[in-house]
Amino acid sequence: MKDFRHESVGMLVAEQPLRAAVFDRYGIDFCCGGKQTLEAACVKALIDPHTVLTDIKESDANAVVDTNTKIWLDATLTELADHIQQTHHAYLKVELPRLQELADKVARVHGVKEPRLVQVAAIFSAMRQEIEQHTAKEDVVLFPFIRKLDQGTGIPKAPFGTVANPVRCMESEHNDAGEALMQLRELTDQYTAPEQACTSWRALLGGLAHLDQDLRIHIHKENTILFPKAIEAEGALALR
């Protein structure tokens, strides 16, 4: 088996998406923290790298061909940008308002007895606002520029200079979203519903858990695959 200890955790997931489940099991961040090596991530999490490597080996051995699991490393910039917009951005446009309504309702009804729910609603509201602004910038400015890069006819004119500039901004905002998710996990005991939770409360926690998973995969695809490939493509065009 290849020694993955010095490979980034983000690239390990890009090479085989099913490895994300292994990293989730050990609490290893493969989206915002995707640039760290596996060894560094294990040291940070106080985990023996050999334990994680064994689980990766087992995961890879048990992996079956799944036509719905695409290796996005092989995609063009346009294909990946289209996929992110049509899958992840479209999901957020529907789910963020729905979860906001649930969070506000649950905080209003149960917040007096469970103040953490008021915090959940407030953190979610701030995160939602930033995510909506973030995806709008990608949809209107960054992704169209990346698609033009993919045409290979030259570096498009842009108000932001090199593509690395908006990428840094997007990655910083990804980190903000990652921090908000960490706070939501802590406040909800990893999205675990207490016995007294009503149907809306349980629906909120289930929705937040799914949002957490989807957003981390979304960020991973941008940070580890789309953005580095865009920077590389622009660099190649500059050398022509």
51: CB partners within 8 A, 6+ apart: none
Specify the pLDDT at position 112: 95
Contact 220, 31 (CB under 8 A): yes
Specify the pLDDT at position 180: 98
What's CA 61's distance to the chain center, in Å?
25
- Summarised one tens digit per residue, pLDDT across range 154-202 is 889 888 989 999 999 999 999 999 999 999 999 999 999 999 999 999 9
* Exposure string over 15-44, b if 16+ CB within 10 A, otherwise e: eebebbebbeeeebbbbbbbebbbbbbbee
Residue 193, token pair as written in the block = 């519903």
Say yes or no to pLDDT of 1 above 80: no
Return mean pLDDT, the chain: 93
Residue 96's pLDDT band (cuts 50, 70, 90): very high
Contact 197, 205 (CB under 8 A): yes
Say yes or no to pLDDT of 91 above 90: yes
Say yes or no to pLDDT of 68 above 60: no
Distances (CA, A) of 186 to 126, 182, 218: 17, 6, 21
Say yes or no to pLDDT of 149 above 80: yes
221 vs 80: CA distance, rounded Å: 8
- Summarised one tens digit per residue, pLDDT across range 204-218 is 999 999 999 999 999
pLDDT-above-90 percentage for the chain: 84
Count other Cβ atoms within 10 Å, centred on residue 61: 8
Q: Is 23 left (phi over 0), alpha (psi -120 to 50) or beta?
A: alpha
Specify the pLDDT at position 214: 96
Q: Which residue has the higher pLDDT, 69 or 32?
A: 32
Beta-bridge partners for 37: 8
Specify the pLDDT at position 67: 45
Specify the pLDDT at position 71: 82
Coil, strand, or helix at residue 187? helix
211 vs 215: CA distance, rounded Å: 6
Distances (CA, A) of 158 to 6, 141, 164, 170, 176: 36, 9, 12, 16, 26
Mean pLDDT computed over 78-92? 97
189 vs 110: CA distance, rounded Å: 16
47 vs 44: CA distance, rounded Å: 8
Say yes or no to pLDDT of 51 above 80: yes
pLDDT-above-70 percentage for the chain: 97
DSSP 75: S
Coil, strand, or helix at residue 111? coil
Say yes or no to pLDDT of 2 above 80: no
Specify the pLDDT at position 113: 94
Say yes or no to pLDDT of 42 above 90: yes
Contact 127, 114 (CB under 8 A): no
